[in-house]
Structure 1
């Protein structure tokens, strides 16, 4: 009897099948995820892994959170897209509740984080010309070295990462780069042409770099004195990750503009937004900016459900409380393979002793232990579990890290 034809491919076959047909712009870990729920994912062979990356914070509420899946299902049965040529019945509620959650007035809905950053740049320049009175085409934006705001042509123009930047010129002018966490350098770079200062309250891709206490408050005061905008890129740091709704809240700072993305879509659909004061977003007029999918009914329904999860503060509290467990666990490993770490809430950059391995090698070893993390520069790995992770799951991940480090 002839054996039935195989209808599925295993992990090795699927990885090999990608090679000739997918652009090589990523170097993923060799795991092929087929199913997921909560803080766990499962590969095509049925092996389970604890997800300690959470889609770079896009999965703050875990995989397939029931409230978010339900919101998506209900909206799929009604309406998914109208474009912004027409109004839809979900958008006003999303904008009202997101503005209230973030303490801002208005919302510009987009799709991806990079789109939110690009939109924020455009809004800042328009504000500089229309409100501040900067001469045409002379507006500047001050940014921080080691930043990560996305990979579009304009954004890599002010990146200091040569891997992201090299080979993609000519670059967009109008940006000044200063060291992160350096108020004196920032003040020296700001002048009458400055439209905005754009920074991450915590630099994620750089290795979860947390500025000194007072830095964010100093940026707020400096921009206020200089008459320019403070734009906080909270795409990774926002929406509960650090134990507060926004990372700037750790210093009681209210920026003029906040950029959101990743977790705003609940890991279901891409949703991003620029939220800002009315006098800032009010500079936009019909035809000056747009997005076919930005603010679509499906995105608005899921985004509203995400805001609903955050309005009660439960996830912010979980991140703060479990963040103590994460920090204490990493402290115990310091000197035992961990050379240093930076943590706030459920987010940590962990510097491993280079003699033990690179960040990629440590990530691969953890994968074999059933824990998924992601490396960044050198021997640094990032930990960003879903905010739904349990204390037991978090301790399991820390135990696996201890085991990997002990093997050297």
Structure 2
């Protein structure tokens, strides 16, 4: 008989120890609800780090997956397929850009953006040793190039030598960013809200200030909306709060509708034109199965007005959390249904509280030691949020 205890023992035996999940083994999911091997039911308040904005097994997305699987799944970019074009056209329409380069994972999309801006600098500005400014406490993935500009010591320990050409500015401090700009600076890369850092929201006007700074110095603005995109923060994309349209937009996670890994770098002709056949690619990027799923995910986003739901329910949820007036909580922050609850250090770390919430049927996860991240599927109902609040009250008050 398969049990939670036995499955965890098996994973510990055969898997690298690179994650520290909560001690729950999930085997079923529908909407905002999941079940473990013993049949216990939980509310998913993490959404696979915003991959499940549409909820588990959304009927339209699963139908698209199954229908396409009955036709053709993978072709590689050696040939055209009948799904990629219409999918990318829709993605460009939703995001407001003219071209998209499809990949699979978020880290791949970030790497694609880094390669694009470096080649752009070579060809358009004659800069062969360009520098890119990132922000402290960033999280853009775990490849060698990406961890090269991480400020988290653990992400880098033992993995050097690192990719050169990066500088770090203090997140939220536009003056610190401008001080780092030189003739070699070709781009800045940042998240509109830092998810892994603890749902850190920058000061109002910061994104617009970054946009103006990039325009002033003729450098590219890259926004990583892998976690914040597709309605998570209450807008289709978080940059829309400040009308701070980037030059390059990086997306992933929810683009795959919680069913298949789909990501993309999105931009306009001026930057995309630097790529020629053979410069960059991915065997699975833009494959018909992923494209069909991505198309369905984008259609559901619009049809069910998920961004608007996220804004309205996020405000409600955040206010209800604040009304708890918990003596344990230092701060509640976020936008839409991307909310961080920071625990005061004198009450320990966030992990034990996540474990207690799990026992009460809520699945969430700690990030950066002190913060509980609440990010339920955007399809969640108001009464389900009320149920979640009642459980949170039992643990935090």
Q: TM-score, normalised by structure 1?
A: 0.96
**Partners of 2:156 and 2:386 in 1: how far apart?**
38
Shift of the 27–330 alpha-carbon distance from structure 1 to 2, 3 Å rule, reads same
Tell me the alpha carbon deviations over residues 61-81 of structure 1, each in whole angstroms, 9 at most, x when there is no partner.
Answer: 000000100100100000100
**Partners of 1:118 and 1:90 in 2: how far apart?**
24
Q: How does 1:15-34 map to 2 (within 5 A)?
A: 15-34=8-27
Tell me the alpha carbon deviations over residues 214-243 of structure 1, each in whole angstroms, 9 at most, x when there is no partner.
Answer: 100000010011111100000000100011
Q: How does 1:280-359 map to 2 (within 5 A)?
A: 280-312=271-303, 314-359=305-350
What displacement does 1:335 show? 4.1
Q: Which of 53, 73, 89 is the matching residue for 1:80?
A: 73
**Preserved CA contact (<8 Å) 2:333 2:340:** yes
What displacement does 1:251 show? 0.3
What displacement does 1:339 show? 1.4
What displacement does 1:378 show? 2.3
**Preserved CA contact (<8 Å) 2:251 2:265:** yes
Task: Tell me what 2:379 maps to.
Answer: 388
Q: Which of 58, 64, 81 is the matching residue for 1:71?
A: 64
Tell me the alpha carbon deviations over residues 88-121 of structure 1, each in whole angstroms, 9 at most, x when there is no partner.
Answer: 0000001101001000010000000000001100
* Alignment partner of 1:114 is 2:126: no
Tell me the alpha carbon deviations over residues 351-392 of structure 1, each in whole angstroms, 9 at most, x when there is no partner.
Answer: 123343311111101000000000011221101000011111
Tell me the alpha carbon deviations over residues 101-151 of structure 1, each in whole angstroms, 9 at most, x when there is no partner.
Answer: 0000100000000000011000010011111221x2x11100000000000
**Partners of 1:35 and 1:380 in 2: how far apart?**
27
Q: What stretches of structure 2 of length at least 5 have no aligned partner?
A: none
**Preserved CA contact (<8 Å) 1:334 1:340:** no
What displacement does 1:306 show? 1.0
Tell me the alpha carbon deviations over residues 29-66 of structure 1, each in whole angstroms, 9 at most, x when there is no partner.
Answer: 00000000000000000000000000000000000000
Task: Tell me what 1:204 maps to.
Answer: 195
Q: How does 1:235-254 map to 2 (within 5 A)?
A: 235-254=226-245
Tell me the alpha carbon deviations over residues 298-319 of structure 1, each in whole angstroms, 9 at most, x when there is no partner.
Answer: 0000001111122347101100
Task: Tell me what 2:181 maps to.
Answer: 190
**Preserved CA contact (<8 Å) 1:264 1:272:** yes
Task: Tell me what 1:56 maps to.
Answer: 49
**Partners of 1:84 and 1:267 in 2: how far apart?**
23
SS in 2 for 1:20: helix
Tell me the alpha carbon deviations over residues 168-215 of structure 1, each in whole angstroms, 9 at most, x when there is no partner.
Answer: 111110000010001111111112211211000000000110111110
SS in 2 for 1:343: strand
SS in 2 for 1:104: coil
Aligned length: 397
Q: What stretches of structure 1 of length at least 5 have no aligned partner?
A: 1-7
* Alignment partner of 1:364 is 2:344: no
Q: TM-score, normalised by structure 2?
A: 0.98
SS in 2 for 1:155: helix
